[in-house]
Amino acid sequence: MSGCRFTVARTAAEAVAGLAEADGEAHIIAGGVALVLLMNEGLLQPSWLIDVSRAAELQGIDVADDGAIRIGAAVTHREVAASARLASVCPMLAEMAAEIACGRVMNRGTVGGSICLADPQGDPPAALLALDATFRLAGPEGGRDVAARDFFRDLYVTALTENELLQHVRIAPPPTAHRGTAFGKYAARQAMDYASTVSAAVSLARDPADGSMSDIGLGLGGCGTIPVWPQKTEAALRGRRPDTEAFAAMRAALAEETAPIGDMLYSADYKRHVAAVILERTIKAAYRRAGGGGPDP
């Protein structure tokens, strides 16, 4: 990395100014988990690194009285997993963060880094798709908001423009009571079997009148070339109770919306099967948290 310039941005504005000055040659770094790996493998040779790990606007986890959530882009996975307040409002997020890779990745890796890497196996993107989160981006023209469901464009491609960075994540307060969230994950042997990981995130409301599921949000990891928002699967479940017929409809829709990439351990078809199993279990867990009862899946 000879000749690489390194600067520390104390604010989002300083980071944006550095990106503009670098004219496409700078890379943002916070935890550096993926970036440093790419550099060590010789796949990336940045000429300028801008450290945003101490930028004020990228810090902190805030939960408002109404349940609205703000998570700074430089917040680590460990911080998310350890936040009791966050877990009480949205258990899915704490579950998701606790399942991420290994201790080193949890301690150094950041929420924003996982989002901006846009790896299809990433856990935070799947969770934030299910929660219909909004990403606040900072750029030369000021800030703008992009829905998580519009952010992931292609394999490792996002809606970020050249001189923009992710500032924070916002999750709106739940629109209804009787709501439950859950996160489920499968890996071949352990969380570090990254290529063979399949994950599912669920947010739903239970109608107390008839027990049906409404306002359901889903997100999937390891099921395509981007983190997957399965809209047809949501529609197949909406208005139904979580019974045998509902899950049969879910499986049929899911088969149309997922295109996992096979690897040395599992075929694409097997991953598709696993995704359906994990999603069903996770829906049942979220439904219980919404007051629906039922045994553990």
Structural domain ending residue among the three candidates 171, 197, 219: 171
Q: Are residues 203 and 229 in the same domain?
A: yes
Element (H, E) at 136: strand 134-139
Is the same domain home to 267 and 226? yes
CATH number at residue 144: 3.30.465.10
pLDDT of residue 194: 58
Question: Do 137 and 208 belong together in one domain?
Answer: no
User: Distance between alpha carbon 203 and the CA centroid of its chain, in Å?
Assistant: 13
> Which has the closest alpha carbon to 224: 131, 135, 118, 111?
118
Single residue among 171, 189, 220 that ends a domain in this structure: 171
Is there a domain that residue 27 lies in? yes
pLDDT level of residue 293 (50, 70, 90 thresholds): low
21 domain-assigned: yes
Among 54-63, 185-194, 207-216, the range scoring the smallest mean pLDDT is: 185-194
What's the pLDDT tens digit per position in 97-154? 998 877 778 888 999 999 999 999 999 999 999 999 999 999 999 999 999 999 999 9
Predicted pLDDT at 275 = 95
What DSSP character marks residue 264? S
> pLDDT at position 33, please?
85
Does 187 lie in the same domain as 121?
no
pLDDT at 114: 95
Do 160 and 223 share a domain, yes or no?
A: no
H or E element, residue 278: helix 268-287
Judge whether 208 lies within some domain.
yes
The 8-class DSSP code of residue 34 comes to H
Boundaries of domain holding 33? 5-51
Q: Are residues 11 and 100 in the same domain?
A: no
> How many other C-beta atoms lie within 10 A of the C-beta of residue 244?
7
At 191, is the pLDDT very low, low, confident or very high (cuts 50, 70, 90)?
very low
- Let me know whether 74 and 156 are in one domain: yes
What is the predicted pLDDT for the residue at 188? 65
Token pair listed for 38: 């790419």
Percent of the chain with pLDDT over 90: 75
Q: Say whether both 203 and 137 belong to one domain.
A: no
**Could you tell me if 14 and 93 lie in one domain?**
no
CB 19 within 8 A of CB 163: yes
Tell me what pLDDT residue 24 has.
84
Instruction: Report the alpha-carbon distance of residue 24 to residue 26 in Å, rounded.
Output: 6
pLDDT of residue 177: 80
* β-pair type (157-158, 213-221): unpaired
- Tell me the pLDDT tens digit for each residue of 52-88: 999 999 999 999 999 999 999 999 999 999 999 999 9
Residue 297 belongs to a domain: no
Residues 41 and 133 in one domain: no
Of 110, 143, 171, which residue sits at a domain end? 171
Q: Are residues 151 and 62 in the same domain?
A: yes
pTM of the model: 0.93
* Residue 235 lies inside a defined structural domain of this protein: yes
> Exposed/middle/buried for 149, CB within 10 Å: 0-12, 13-18, 19+?
middle
3-state SS class at 58: helix
Split into its structural domains, the chain has a count of: 3
| Alpha-helix runs per DSSP H in 75-118 | 77-82, 84-89, 91-98, 103-108, 111-117
CATH number of residue 15's parent domain: 3.30.43.10
pLDDT higher than threshold 80 for residue 161 = yes
Provide the greatest CA pair distance for the chain: 66
Distance CA 34, CA 52 (A): 15
Identify the pLDDT of residue 297: 42
Q: Are residues 288 and 193 in the same domain?
A: yes
pLDDT of residue 273: 94
Mean pLDDT of 257-267: 86
In a domain, 99, yes or no: yes
Domain at 184, CATH number: 3.30.390.50
In a domain, 202, yes or no: yes
